Chains A and B, each alone.
Chain A
Amino acid sequence: MHNIWLIAKREYTERIRTKGFIIATVLIPTLMGGGIFAATALATHSKTASHIAIVTTQPQPATDLKHELESGKDTTMTVDIVPPAPGINATLDRQMENKQLDGYLVIHQGPSSSQQATYDFTPRSSADIATSSAVKEGLHDVVAREYLAQRGASASDIDAFMHPVEMNIVGKGGKKGDSRASFLVAYILFFLMYMVVLMYGMNVARSIIEEKTSRIFEVLLATIKPSELLAGKIIGVGAVGLTQVGVWMIAAAALAARAGAMSGVTISFTQTIFFIVYFVLGYALYSSVAAALGAMTNSEQELQQLNMFLMMPLFFCMLMLGPLISNSNSTLSRIVSQIPFCAPLLMNFRISLSMPQPWEIALSIALILVTIFAVLWVSSRIYRVGILMYGKKPNLPEILRWLKYS
């Protein structure tokens, strides 16, 4: 145990001191925080502020529409009402080319009032969906009001009728929630774990290769067992990963305290606990695989060729996000979230969305633990032989034979 502790401690202190670690630890929360602030800032200022013209013969409903678009809930547009005249379209087109105008709406009144009018909107850029949809919504609102008014509804009745419905998402405990925010949290946790597990798994492999190329192994192995070296390395590198995630989470919590109210993103205590549990398990699993990969190879380049073994299960998890989101309790979701290589990411994702049955969580953890032990058994054998092999890259039959060496 003492040796494992010494190896882990060295691994930890040497890594914590590197510039790369400090930069990543500080820079990523800064960027994330900046990103969230920018996104919320943009979201609050994203009211469409286009300048359009309405071509119509009648003042109604154009003035109502103008009012709606200029001082509506989501829009602060500038609206000019112009009477139709020969060549008006050409004039407006020219104005659009000069960027004085973002679009124009032509209202063709039907021959009689009973007939529906048609509306032609010409935007400056067909990609400007925000303006088009704002105009469409405004029109819908105005036409509905007009219709109700014609039917003799009073202004207060119309207001009451047009009042938008507000629906609150209420969690099981009766707490108010926001389904978009909980999706966001699930996504953030998923990608955080994905990134950190992959990054630190590769770090274990890299650190093994580094010791292999610097040949310090021989000195270490003259006093300690390969399994102790492997365990110390996985613990040490993993502790660095946890430290980094810890720093990020504290930064996120601090950020959430300031900006959380704005973005509506909150990470609950349960989510944090499960995240840590599944992160530790997932990391242990993937880093044991990475250790075997590191022991088999002699250089970073060779490792690059093999790292698809790490990427593939993770990539598969990403593919499974779709089915999980559409129904997180379907049979497919239940099955894929039990696969040990996916469980850390997918079970945690399901927990963030809606709490699965306790036995499902217990089973997934048990399965991961069993797999970790199996992988560690294989890895430590490959590791024990592989680290002393230099030069030639081993092929599969050779690696299988390594498992038999005592």
Chain B
Amino acid sequence: MPIVELQNIRKVYDTKVAVEGLTLTIEPGTMFGLLGPNGSGKTSSIRMMIGMTVPDSGSVRLFDKPFARNLLHRVGYLPEERGLYKKMKVLDQLIFLGQLHGLEEATARRRSLAWCERMEITEAIEKKTEELSKGMQQKIQFIAALLHEPDLIIMDEPFSGLDPVNAELLMDTLVALRGEGKAILFSTHRMDQVEKLCDSIALISRGRLLLSGSMREIKSKYPRNRLQVVFTGDDTFLRHAGIVEFKNYSGIAEIQLHSESEAQTILAEAIANGTHINRFEVMEPTLEEIFIENVRASFGDAEAGGRVDA
């Protein structure tokens, strides 16, 4: 039973096409990464997913049912633009937001306290939101999205602005929630996080879907033609015919090959030349490279430079 099913959705604002023919499916117990450059239609897609705006055409299904507002009680949403009532006390705020998601006041209170403890912000409970640091506010918002134990958790840029320790805490929490069978959708620009966390991704640019599928599937479509060599001594092997291009950062060479099979001959040539090899690794392309390549292509190379923000 898919948690989210978008079928060919389209949204146009005046003359600007925000989303065009987007189709994607999110299964339970998966971490789904929604990727795309700024202004590519990520937030518009998410807004249609939770009924904040209605698609001009196409269908949205949540929990295997056509979209209905009462299903939103099973969705937790952390928007990109963080917002809390500045003058309200943290606990009151969490209880209020919990109640809006259909919780009883007592349940909301109990869960808020438990979550604050888990997120290590118990000392903030009695304070007003405006007295807290940005990171703390973000944790509170994170808690607010999770209080009603949603089956679908949607997080727009959840880690931006957090220090590594807190980002780790949030990541661990999300991984634990996935373990409980929740579906998690998050959008981010940080490809390293996506690579570490996500089971599946969808890459959109200019409102269109460029790729989607499981991380394995996508990566397997790209050849393992990346080579990283850490070496000392002679560097003549870098002029081997099988190399498309290389960058040599004084002893650490990043190489792109015509094909994976060239790697072994290059290694052999380097050793024959007497180069001292410290590390030799054949790599699959990083998600970041896939991202940049696809987005560039979608814009057309000429204008890619300024507009892509990976």
Compute how far the CA of A18 lies from the CA of B86 in the bound complex, rounded to whole angstroms. Answer: 13
Looking at the assembled complex, report how far the CB atom of B41 sits from the nearest CB atom of chain A, in whole angstroms. Answer: 15
A141, CB-defined interface residue at 8 Å: no
Give the nearest-CB partner of B77 in chain A: A222
Compute how far the CA of A390 lies from the CA of B34 in the bound complex, rounded to whole angstroms. Answer: 23
Question: Across the interface, which residues of B come within 8 angstroms of A406, CB to CB?
Answer: 54
Compute how far the CA of A214 lies from the CA of B79 in the bound complex, rounded to whole angstroms. Answer: 12
Q: B interface, by DSSP: helix, strand, loop or mixed?
A: loop
Looking at the assembled complex, report how far the CB atom of A14 sits from the nearest CB atom of chain B, in whole angstroms. Answer: 6
Q: Are B83 and A217 neighbours in the complex by a CB distance under 8 Å?
A: yes
Q: Are A216 and B84 neighbours in the complex by a CB distance under 8 Å?
A: yes
B271, CB-defined interface residue at 8 Å: no
Most chain B CB atoms below 10 A, which of A6, A211, A222, A401: A222
Contact A211:B83 (CB < 8 A) given known A219-B144, A221-B52? yes
Compute how far the CA of A225 lies from the CA of B53 in the bound complex, rounded to whole angstroms. Answer: 10
- Name the contact of B75 in the complex, choosing from A14, A18, A221, A222 (C-beta under 8 A): A222
Which residues, 11 to 30 on B, are CB-close (under 8 Å) to A? Answer: 14
Q: Are B73 and A215 neighbours in the complex by a CB distance under 8 Å?
A: no
Question: Across the interface, which residues of A come within 8 angstroms of B96, CB to CB?
Answer: 6, 10
Q: Are B77 and A215 neighbours in the complex by a CB distance under 8 Å?
A: no
B141, CB-defined interface residue at 8 Å: yes
Q: Which of B97-105, B115-123, B228-236, B302-310 contacts A (4 or more CB under 8 A)?
A: B97-105
Question: Across the interface, which residues of A come within 8 angstroms of B53, CB to CB?
Answer: 388
Cβ proximity bits B37-75 to A, threshold 8 Å, 1 near / 0 not: 000000000010010111000000000000001001101
Most chain A CB atoms below 10 A, which of B52, B73, B86, B141: B52
Looking at the assembled complex, report how far the CB atom of A276 sits from the nearest CB atom of chain B, in whole angstroms. Answer: 29
Give the nearest-CB partner of B156 in chain A: A218
Give the nearest-CB partner of A390 in chain B: B81
Contact A215:B52 (CB < 8 A) given known A10-B96, A220-B100, A223-B100? no
Question: Across the interface, which residues of A come within 8 angstroms of B86, CB to CB?
Answer: 214
Give the nearest-CB partner of B129 in chain A: A214
Looking at the assembled complex, report how far the CB atom of A230 sits from the nearest CB atom of chain B, in whole angstroms. Answer: 15
Question: Across the interface, which residues of B come within 8 angstroms of A390, CB to CB?
Answer: 81
- Name the contact of B79 in the complex, choosing from A222, A223, A225, A401 (C-beta under 8 A): A222
A224, CB-defined interface residue at 8 Å: yes
Q: Are A218 and B79 neighbours in the complex by a CB distance under 8 Å?
A: yes
A71, CB-defined interface residue at 8 Å: no
- Name the contact of B99 in the complex, choosing from A6, A221, A388 (C-beta under 8 A): A6
Q: List 10 A-B contacts (CB under 8 A).
A: A14-B87, A18-B87, A215-B79, A219-B79, A219-B144, A221-B52, A222-B77, A223-B72, A390-B81, A406-B54
Q: Which residues of B contact A (CB under 8 A)?
A: 14, 47, 50, 52-54, 69, 72-73, 75, 77, 79-88, 96-97, 99-101, 141, 144-145
Q: A211-B85, A215-B79, A218-B52 are in contact. List 20 more A-B contacts (CB 8 A).
A: A3-B100, A14-B85, A14-B88, A211-B83, A214-B84, A215-B81, A215-B82, A216-B84, A216-B85, A218-B79, A218-B83, A219-B77, A219-B79, A219-B84, A219-B97, A221-B52, A222-B52, A223-B101, A388-B52, A390-B81
Q: Which residues of A contact B (CB under 8 A)?
A: 3, 6, 10, 14, 18, 211, 214-225, 388, 390, 401, 406
